[in-house]
Structure 1
Amino acid sequence: MSEAEAFASPLELPCGAVIKNRIVKPAMSDGLGDGAGGATQAQERLYRRWAHGGAGLVLIGEVQVDHRYPERPGNLALDRIQSPAAMTALRRMTAAGTENGTHFWAQLGHAGALTYGGVNDRPAAPSAVEVRGNHAREMSEDGIAETVAGFARAAATAREGGFTGVEIHAAHGFLLSQFLSPRFNRRTDGWGGSLVNRARMLMEVIRAVRAAVGQAFPVGVKLNSADFSKGGFSMEESRQVTGWLNEEAIDLLEISGGTYESDESGASELKSESTRAREAFFLDYADSIRDVFHKPVLVTGGLRTRAGLVQALQSGSADLVGMARPLAVEPDLPSRLIARQAEGALRVEGGFPAQMPPGAGTAWYGVQLMRLGDGLEPDLTLDPTRALQIYDDLDRRKAADYRLCEAC
């Protein structure tokens, strides 16, 4: 496979859908929803910008299946898309995101114990745990069944609303990842204990989602290669689950790692030395599962250079390669990489202060998404500490308006 073929060749998924090239903008939490679970004009502008930036597939992150358990109060919540006006707004956004022949998928999730505390400080999780000041309660079996059904309903709404696929989020410490992890899942019933029991929630969600959207609609899964936390989901367990996923009706597996359990560093905000090691680990892990998983694989996490992207594709370790943060500051980077007009992404992190508050790096990129949503260009001079203030203020304002109610 030549370099041009590596980037620009289309990929046909098992369901028959075709992605026009091999570069993906993975899911990021944009926080630009209206604070009541609906889509906004800011999201239209953001996803239109990425659709015309050249990626074959763009994902919108943290699309919630149950509005009571958001990762942020600006998340889309598909169970709240109930009125004609809400569906119209969603379809405007997906129409923008699918311009230029771009696939636009919703990453379906449920934050579980990592629910935004300003909205709900008593969330549901596999077991009763305390995380980030939240006192999570153990989900009942009826609650588990309702959550599985919620994923299916959300997938059906995503399809009706104009998305061209969905990705089931089972990584980074959110609910389905929590069920997989012995650190979170301390149950002794049929949903905990052995790995097959801990993976049961994920498998039932996949089957329910597939039944809801039909055989021709793309369904992906995002899975941790490992949690990188003591007592968490391990590499050996991930490999076993990956083998089981090969037997399920999915079209794509995205490999990632880490969790947002700690406030000290999120899954996408790792320290520099470990970042390099884990990036290599993701590629090595993707290569190591080829004997048990025979469907397309997307690798994300730290890929920055043309040479690195091409090597990942040409080696066969990955069928698709993802860049998230780089596209927050260079939304047209995929087009320039394909046209050989760029050798890689801007290294903006090198200009950050050596000491920053926890979460400031994530916030810096989040504010760039806010600027793109406002029709502005990224601000590379933005101070990360100031970005954290802007980011947190946005969440607080939207949390104040978030209409949380059991009946909704």
Structure 2
Amino acid sequence: MSQIAQQIQIRNTVFKNRIIKGAMSEALANTAGEPNHLHLGLYEAWAKGGLGCAITGNVMVDYRAKNEPGVVVLETERDLAELKQWAEIGKKYGMVQLIQLSHPGRQCPKGLNRETVAPSAVAFSPMLATTFATPRELHEDEILDIIQRFATSAAICEKAGFEGVQLHGAHGYLISEFLSPLTNKRQDQWGGSIENRTRFLLEIYKAVRAATSDHFIISVKLNSADFQKGGITEQEVISVFKAIDQAGIDLIEISGGSYEAPAMAGAKSKHIKQSTIAREAYFLDFAENIRKEVNCKLMVTGGFRTVKGMNDALESGACDFIGLARPLAVETDLTDRLIAGYDVRYAVNPIKTGIPFVDKMAIMEIIWYAAQFKAIGEGKAPNPKLSPFKVFLNYAKGNIKAIIQGKVNSRKSA
């Protein structure tokens, strides 16, 4: 039997195969952050395509901290009915669903929120400073509030019927900001040593575990590296993986990078070793090393394109799950095709608008795919030849509209 077709169990949940859809931003919610029929249509398409598990795009735990327009926000049981419908789709087709809970920290476009917060008031690089403001340093009571927000959101996810959650601790969002010495300059119990910088993640895990049942899956997405000079060291990364594993985490997804060094979008591919390219997965070498250090299940996302590459990775023991993201945006039935022995049909190339400053930020790697998701949610077929330039123009118009609406709402609530 093909390795990718084999079942595997975490706690009381059986995954029917080893393919997991990695988180991708859907950008389908309204300004209030409510899920809708588009989410249901999108995830049903993936479920019908044989997917073993889907990890949702960013779901914010705080309405005041959204990373982009159109993101789902989960603070209360306001949307419990819609969330139950969403969870039921997975159960209908045997697709496990994990909600990715996130706080963006400093990675919020200017004007979207009233302010941005982070472990420390560290400015962005000059190229991104025009888009992202310097954040305000969090007070300790705010840190404790955010920890509890993750727990509250997780409990709602379980009540809705989802099998688990993923804590977003990668890509430069808030948990990742606490872990990295580049963005965490604190001198209290939340900063300094790697043990202190890991505290925020561990306290979130403990709070989520306490707020949910024993069979609820808790996963985390972690960077293998910052890919920036002066970032978290390899030894520190290993200590973070070991600490969260020893705390009881069920699954770790291995990724890397941030908005300032977007390795997760393949932007660092020219620096990837030839041996890694031959094996397809960007972070597989790291997974092999970390496999010796942890006991939890591991998932590697990024770069897989052939059935052989996926099966070889699983057979080697380096990982337990294959994470696929962008290929699923243009092939919703990809899982069934992989299990039947067919490789990924469409090559994943960098999405370029021809506008230099836009293309350098790799933002099109998010919004071009979000445009595909909207089409799929509406019951249409994805379009691999969709114009990146037109997508960016539509995104810019929507972003301006959302920011204006946000300012109007802020004045009304003031």
Provide the TM-score with structure 2 as the length reference.
0.90
Structure 2 partner of 1:19: 15
CA distance in 2, matches of 1:405, 1:345: 49
Give yes or no for the alignment of 1:126 onto 2:119.
yes
Structure 2 partner of 1:267: 264
What displacement does 1:126 show?
Answer: 0.1
Q: Residue 252 of structure 2 aligns to a residue in which SS? A: strand
Alpha-carbon distance change, 282 to 271 in structure 1, aligned in 2, over 3 angstroms: closer
What displacement does 1:321 show?
Answer: 0.4
Structure 1 partner of 2:64: 68
CA distance in 2, matches of 1:53, 1:71: 29
Q: Residue 113 of structure 1 aligns to a residue in which SS? A: coil
What displacement does 1:266 show?
Answer: 6.6
User: Where does 1:130-169 land on structure 2 (aligned, <5 Å)?
Assistant: 130-131=123-124, 132=129, 133-169=132-168
Structure 1 partner of 2:227: 228
8 A Cα contact 2:119 2:178, kept in partner: yes
Give the partner amino acid of 1:388: F
Alpha-carbon distance change, 283 to 165 in structure 1, aligned in 2, over 3 angstroms: same
Q: Percent identity?
A: 38
8 A Cα contact 1:119 1:404, kept in partner: no
What displacement does 1:249 show?
Answer: 1.9
Give the partner amino acid of 2:100: Q
Q: Residue 157 of structure 2 aligns to a residue in which SS? A: helix
8 A Cα contact 1:368 1:379, kept in partner: yes
Structure 2 partner of 1:200: 199
Structure 2 partner of 1:88: 81
Q: Residue 55 of structure 1 aligns to a residue in which SS? A: coil
What displacement does 1:351 show?
Answer: 9.0
What displacement does 1:355 show?
Answer: 7.5
Alpha-carbon distance change, 243 to 114 in structure 1, aligned in 2, over 3 angstroms: same
Q: Deviations over 1:22-75 (max 9, x none)?
A: 001011111101221211111111111111111111011111111111111211
Structure 2 partner of 1:32: 28
Give yes or no for the alignment of 1:317 onto 2:301.
no
Give yes or no for the alignment of 1:363 onto 2:367.
yes
8 A Cα contact 1:61 1:107, kept in partner: yes
What displacement does 1:404 show?
Answer: 5.4
CA distance in 2, matches of 1:315, 1:62: 31
Unaligned runs of 5+ in 1: none
8 A Cα contact 2:351 2:365, kept in partner: no
Structure 2 partner of 1:251: 250
Among 67, 82, 93, the alignment partner of 1:100 is: 93
Give yes or no for the alignment of 1:109 onto 2:102.
yes
What displacement does 1:407 show?
Answer: 8.2
8 A Cα contact 1:207 1:249, kept in partner: no
Q: Residue 155 of structure 2 aligns to a residue in which SS? A: helix
CA distance in 2, matches of 1:158, 1:394: 29
Moved more, 29-38 or 396-405: 396-405
CA distance in 1, matches of 2:322, 2:155: 27
CA distance in 2, matches of 1:406, 1:177: 33
Structure 2 partner of 1:343: 343
What displacement does 1:162 show?
Answer: 2.4
Give yes or no for the alignment of 1:389 onto 2:390.
no
Provide the TM-score with structure 1 as the length reference.
0.91
Q: Residue 94 of structure 1 aligns to a residue in which SS? A: helix
Among 44, 47, 66, the alignment partner of 2:43 is: 47
Q: Residue 270 of structure 2 aligns to a residue in which SS? A: helix
Moved more, 296-305 or 389-398: 389-398
What displacement does 1:16 show?
Answer: 2.7
CA distance in 2, matches of 1:38, 1:293: 37
CA distance in 2, matches of 1:394, 1:344: 32
